Structure 1
Amino acid sequence: MYWWATVLALAAANVSSIAVATDIRGQGSGLSMYKARKLAEVLPYSVARRVQTYQVMRRLGQLNHNPLFSEPIKEIESETFPGMKRLVLIDTDNDAVGDYFVYKADEGPDELYGAMFPLVEGGPPAWIVFPVGPVLDDEKELLFLFLHWVDQNSDGRADLTIFEDVDLDQSGWPESGMSAWLADDDFDGLVDTAMHCAKAECSEIKPVDGVFDLKLRFNPGGGRFVNGQEFANTGFLELLFRDLRLAMEME
């Protein structure tokens, strides 16, 4: 089971966040210039090229999870996760902009972390990349999985989730290069579309008896979602996006 499943269950119903630290400004780096160049290729965000955006965000997410720099630039207090009340923004590429976040435990080493990116230049965090962990794929080679939560219209609510543990042939092993997309494309808070993507090639997943079957290896229920159900974890994700906006002084 995903490590974040337990964390999601702990998401609180209310949140209040207070900034308690000041910024520490950096000088930029080769990594920051690389990231800026790659983001410029796909922003501003559009549905027509969202697979290309996903590929860029996944690559940049990998870089952020192996940062050359790890400079804390802001810390706020948050009630989103019981036991993890310190939210720290980290500048991984020394450009004075937070691009990585860590919820730190009050005691002990427990933490929740991920990379974050805007979908418009200078905009709020709208694409979150969570590390899920290493697994073996269907070729028995090491595959590092990520989970993506996206706010496509930058309104503070997630409306797209991208899973990477797709097991189309139900062999028990996720397939490298495959992803499954579950979306609320009309932004009404309800699931309405799904698709499988193999690199740049995507195919629509049509609901059978009202159910989208994403064929996920590790997701509870195998990745079956009802067409028209409330978008998964909407309340939790609103709190998460709100925390990040508050930390970046965008709300």
Structure 2
Amino acid sequence: MAWKRTNLGKVFSYPLLSLAALLNVAGFQASANARENSVVSSSDDNSGLSRFEARTIDRYGPFEADRRWSTYRAMSELFDRFWRRPTSRRTLFDAPSKSLERSNFLIEDRDEDGSGEFFVLYPRGGNKNSQDFGAYFDLSGDGEPDWIVFYGGTAMTSSGGLFWWHQHGIDSNADGGFDIRVVGMIDMDGDGFPEEDATAWVYDSDHDGLIDRAEHIVEGRVTEIEPVNGYLPLNWVISPELEKQPRVGDAVSSLFGLIAADIDAQTGS
């Protein structure tokens, strides 16, 4: 498949990750009502990580807008399993990135099913223990990744609680272009600290490559983000300044498309 090439265009600040600064935002028109609020429980996984992945994909794929929150939670749980509780770490591919200069792209099989699910981007000749990593999934069943989770880091709530946050890239209609970006580290009450279950979603509703709208989803509750002078204030702790927010009509630029292109180049999918 020929992946849609992304125009790097305008980026907004993201100091915690070297590669994530390449990410622009995208979107997809979505319903305000989540149909499901539960994820596939890992406690009933008696057949290994590969079976757990298959059941999760079967339940939540292909992508449907009206259950986007429950799907987001399920894919977050699946990523967590591949990251922290893999059953293997077998390297399938390790070669120079086709999309990102001076980087290598490594793909691992972490559930012993013979195919890759986990990726690491690291400097050529450098340490493979990189903070630029994630996992990819195929919800549409067409053999191409359409949901990518990219590691964000550790965050602290106002009460001192710690949690991991990540970014998600979604190709909602499986056309090769990632048109939804989801970010954590969102501060909804203005105290300067993120809430663990608060997210911002940015959409390219008509798949023309331009940002249309955004919304907050907090524990399944949806609130439309109203533009301010054309900017979409995400309440992102990392880049709170208004002028660093995405704008309606900006060209969509996404690292997720570059990651998908590397997966395609290495696996021949």
TM exceeding 0.5: yes
1:80 paired with 2:99, answer yes
Cα separation, 1, equivalents of 2:229 and 2:119: 40
Cα separation, 1, equivalents of 2:69 and 2:165: 17
Residues 83 and 128 of structure 1: CA distance in aligned 2, closer, same or farther (over 3 Å): same
Cα separation, 2, equivalents of 1:90 and 1:166: 31
1:119 paired with 2:169, answer no
| Partner secondary structure for residue 241 of structure 2 | helix
Answer whether contact 1:89 1:102 (CA < 8 A) is retained.
yes
Answer whether contact 1:126 1:150 (CA < 8 A) is retained.
yes
1:105 Cα offset (Å): 2.4
Q: CA RMSD in A?
A: 2.1
* Corresponding residue for residue 82 of structure 2: 64
| Partner secondary structure for residue 65 of structure 1 | helix
- Describe the superposition over 1:160-204 as per-residue Cα deviations: whole angstroms up to 9, x where unpaired: 110111101221100111111011121111111211111222121
Q: Which of 15, 19, 40 pairs up with 1:7?
A: 19
* Corresponding residue for residue 227 of structure 2: 207
* Corresponding residue for residue 7 of structure 2: none
* Corresponding residue for residue 246 of structure 2: 225
- Describe the superposition over 1:60-109 as per-residue Cα deviations: whole angstroms up to 9, x where unpaired: 1111111231111233432422321x322111111112110122322221
1:53 paired with 2:71, answer yes
1:10 Cα offset (Å): 7.3
- Describe the superposition over 1:105-152 as per-residue Cα deviations: whole angstroms up to 9, x where unpaired: 222215331111112124311111111111211321011111111221
* Corresponding residue for residue 100 of structure 1: 118
Residues 32 and 2 of structure 1: CA distance in aligned 2, closer, same or farther (over 3 Å): farther
Answer whether contact 1:150 1:158 (CA < 8 A) is retained.
yes
Greater Cα offset, 216-225 or 190-199:
216-225
| Partner secondary structure for residue 38 of structure 1 | helix
| Partner secondary structure for residue 172 of structure 1 | coil
| Partner secondary structure for residue 232 of structure 2 | strand
Answer whether contact 2:170 2:180 (CA < 8 A) is retained.
yes
Answer whether contact 2:82 2:135 (CA < 8 A) is retained.
yes
* Structure with bigger RCO (C-alpha 8 Å, 6+ apart): 2
* Corresponding residue for residue 40 of structure 2: none
| Partner secondary structure for residue 55 of structure 1 | helix
Answer whether contact 1:2 1:132 (CA < 8 A) is retained.
no
**TM-score, L = length of structure 2:** 0.78
| Partner secondary structure for residue 203 of structure 1 | strand
* Corresponding residue for residue 17 of structure 1: none
Answer whether contact 1:195 1:203 (CA < 8 A) is retained.
yes
Cα separation, 1, equivalents of 2:158 and 2:58: 34
Cα separation, 1, equivalents of 2:224 and 2:177: 23
1:56 Cα offset (Å): 0.8
1:130 paired with 2:150, answer yes
* Corresponding residue for residue 22 of structure 1: none
* Corresponding residue for residue 108 of structure 2: 90
Q: % of aligned pairs identical?
A: 29
Cα separation, 1, equivalents of 2:215 and 2:225: 5
Cα separation, 2, equivalents of 1:249 and 1:76: 14
- Letter in structure 1 aligned against 2:100: F
1:9 Cα offset (Å): 5.4
Cα separation, 1, equivalents of 2:16 and 2:102: 16
**Structure showing the higher strand proportion among its residues:** 1
- Letter in structure 2 aligned against 1:69: S
Cα separation, 2, equivalents of 1:79 and 1:214: 31
* Corresponding residue for residue 263 of structure 2: 244
* Corresponding residue for residue 42 of structure 1: 60
Cα separation, 1, equivalents of 2:217 and 2:15: 21
